[in-house]
Each structure stands twice: as structure tokens, then as C-alpha cells.
Amino acid sequence: MLADAARGFLDEAAPVAHLRAQRDAGQTHDPELWKQMAEMGWAGVLVPEAAGGADMGFAAANVLAEEMGRSLTASPFLSTAVIAATALRQISDERARTALAAIAGGARTYALAIDEGSKHAPEASALRAERDGNGFRLSGEKRFVVDGGFANHLLVLARTDAGLTLFDIPADRAGIARTAQAMIDSRDAARITFDGVEATGDNVLGQVDDAMTVLAPALHAGQAALAAEMSGLAAGAFGMTLAYLKERTQFGVPIGSFQALQHRAAHLWSDCEVTASAILNAGRMLDGDPDNAALAVSLAKARATQTAQLAVQEGVQMHGGIGMTDEFDMGFYMKRARVGAEWLGDYGYHAGVVARLRGF
């Protein structure tokens, strides 16, 4: 029921044509669309009811992410409603409840500022948080900060005296400089520099030197939801391809009657189904046994990366020349698949996690 409702709304309010129009207008997000999502309760899908949210769980968040993937909906859902909300859920104080309520109401958006190199590597963060009286001063740079160009709050991972610390900092604080960049999928990312940015004790999420206790669950939630989005992307691309195989004729018959194309379509369908099962399992683990969900989450993200890549490549191939043109929507799916493959860990990163947790 949730999937059907989401699909009905997104087909009307945010089809791929909406993303194309945003790109052509030089826009990377639609604040009005996010407002509508918040009014439907999507922004608060992981926010406790006491803070004004729906608290529907991670499996439900994945359902919404999957439907957004089908139509390539650009929104701060993953960064804000999934990652930031999950991080804040680990904290039981009034500050966190206020932030969660602001997320559920659509008033506060977040961007996750953790990576500094070309690959996802939170543990390698070098941005420094130096002690300054009762607080800190943050200095350094973060790259590939998705939604970082417009979010009004940042979750910043910094190196402190004996480990890593996670900070929740308003994006307009003095010393923060954001260089917004439109990615190849026409969405927002930013390079953010911190020049002696002040952070007080109230900005620390969790405990000093112990960021991963708060951040790890948030990353797992974000990776699972991103995998779900990529699964939806693959399904959307496959649906377009299947429809084309049925309507395009050659030698007087639909090209879908050619056995070679049938085999390739069947292979892609099977791959999509196996990946969907992996994502369902990741949501189940996050809801039922979050402390042991890492294996299921990384398996889902690795599989979703491969499946989305296969779906868009086969889509372009089976559409022939038109698949290579900007006028045709398949290119948008291919570009989003490429960005999704890199964000929050690529195939190699998650295959490594799976191998390590399996004892190899």
C-alpha cells in the first residue's frame, strides 16, 4: 500500500520529466516537492512519534526510496530523513528531539560531510577539531557532500584527540565555505571548507572521540536506502526497455520476439529480483537486529550497484541509437546509477565488508 501510494504521487509530481526540467533550469532540487513529501509524512518516516514523526521503520523507508528511484526523484530524503534522522535517534536529549521534529516538519535538511578523498573512507577523516576552551575549532575540507549546497545543517566527521567525533553544525556558521557542484545526475553535491569553525559541546552528537557509535547506524540506514533507490532505478530502466522490446519492430515483428534479446531481458529480470530480496533482508535486519545488520546492508548495496549498472547498460544497448541520445530518458538512469555506485561506498568497498564479515 505504501509503495502504491508513493508511486501514484511520484508519477504525477516528480516523473523523470521533472528532473529533466530541473536540469535544464540549472536547479538541483525542488524545495516545494520536499515540502509536499514532508506533509505526507515521508520526511518523518524514521522520526519517533513523540517528535512528530511516523516511525515506520527502515523497511518502510526503503520502500519510499525504491519508488523514488523508479522516477529518479531528486530530494534530500536519503541525507535528511534517513541518515540524519537515524543518527539523531541514537541521542536521547531535548536537542535531538528538537532536531528530529524539525526534520519531520520539513524545516531542517541535512548533508553528510564525512569523506575527503576520491573514495568512501570515514575512518580516514583528517579534518581536525582542535580544543578551544570548552569547545572546538574545525579546520579542513570535505568532498562529495551530497545535498551540501542547499542543506541548512551539516553532520561533520572530525578527528579529535583520541578518535573521531561527529558534529551537528548549522551550514551558515562563520568559517564554512560551500562550493556547490551539479553532479552528472543533475543533483547537488558540494565541496565544503572549514576555517576555524566554532563548535560547542551542544554541537557534538554522542560522545567525543566516539563518532561511530552514532554514525555507523546512520551509514547502514543510508546505504540500505540508497541500495533500495538503485533497485528502483534498475526496475524503472528495465520497464522502459521491456516496453521498447514489445513496440519496436524489425523484419515485420517486435524485436522482443528475438530469442537473444529475450535471454538478456530474462537475465536482467532475474538479477533485479535477487537484488530486491537482498534489500528486503537489509530492511528486516535494520528493523529487527540493527547491531548485526552490516553484512545484509553491504550485500544489498553491492548487489544494487551491479544490478543498476546492468540495467542501464542493457537499456542503452537494446534501445540502440536512441538510447545514446539526451532526448531519451535512459541517460538519466545511467548517470544516477553511476553516482549512486560511488556514494556511501562503491562495489569494492561493500564487497570487502562482506568478505571480512564472512571470515575471508
In 3D, which of 214, 46, 196, 215 has the Cα closest to residue 135?
196
Predicted local confidence at residue 226, as pLDDT: 98
Res 73 pLDDT > 90: yes
Res 182 pLDDT > 90: no
SS (H, E, C) 308-344: HHHHHHHHHHHHHHHHHCCCCCHHHHHHHHHHHHHCC
- Measured CA to CA, the distance from residue 292 to residue 47 in angstroms comes to 22
pTM above 0.85, yes or no: yes
- Measured CA to CA, the distance from residue 171 to residue 176 in angstroms comes to 7
In 3D, which of 107, 87, 105, 89 has the Cα closest to residue 97?
89
* Cα four-point dihedral sign 204, 106, 83, 113: negative
What average pLDDT does the segment 102-131 reach?
96
Q: What cell was used for 78?
A: 536519503
Q: How far apart are the first and last CA of the chain?
A: 41
Predicted local confidence at residue 257, as pLDDT: 94
| Burial tier of 72 (Cβ tally within 10 Å: 0-12, 13-18, 19+) | buried
What average pLDDT does the segment 201-216 reach?
96
Res 46 pLDDT > 90: yes
- Measured CA to CA, the distance from residue 259 to residue 256 in angstroms comes to 8
Predicted local confidence at residue 321, as pLDDT: 84
- Measured CA to CA, the distance from residue 165 to residue 138 in angstroms comes to 11
Res 121 pLDDT > 90: yes
Beta strand pairing call for 163-170 and 153-160 = antiparallel
- Measured CA to CA, the distance from residue 338 to residue 75 in angstroms comes to 17
Angle, helices 2-13/58-71, rounded to nearest 10 degrees = 30
* Cα four-point dihedral sign 330, 332, 335, 337: negative
Predicted local confidence at residue 16, as pLDDT: 95
Beta strand pairing call for 153-160 and 110-113 = parallel
User: pLDDT tier at 224 (50, 70, 90 boundaries)?
Assistant: very high
In 3D, which of 341, 74, 112, 102 has the Cα closest to residue 234?
341
What average pLDDT does the segment 312-319 reach?
95
The number of angstroms, rounded, from the C-alpha of 151 to the middle of its chain's C-alpha atoms is 14
Q: What cell was used for 341?
A: 555506485
Question: Phi and psi dihedrals of 152, rounded to 5?
Answer: -95, 0
Q: Is 114 helix (H, G, I), strand (E, B) or coil?
A: coil
Res 63 pLDDT > 90: yes
Res 181 pLDDT > 90: no
- Measured CA to CA, the distance from residue 67 to residue 229 in angstroms comes to 7
Predicted local confidence at residue 324, as pLDDT: 87
In 3D, which of 124, 84, 138 has the Cα closest to residue 106?
84
Q: Return the ∠ at Cα 312 (arms to 311 and 316), rounded to 5°.
A: 120
User: pLDDT tier at 332 (50, 70, 90 boundaries)?
Assistant: very high
* Cα four-point dihedral sign 29, 31, 36, 38: positive
Predicted local confidence at residue 88, as pLDDT: 98
Enumerate domains of the chain plus CATH numbers: 2-108 (1.10.540.10), 111-211 (2.40.110.10), 213-357 (1.20.140.10)
Predicted local confidence at residue 323, as pLDDT: 87
What average pLDDT does the segment 249-260 reach?
94
- pLDDT tens by residue, 321-330: 888 899 899 9
Predicted local confidence at residue 130, as pLDDT: 97
Instruction: Output the average pLDDT for the chain.
Output: 96
- pLDDT tens by residue, 271-303: 999 999 999 999 999 999 999 999 999 999 999
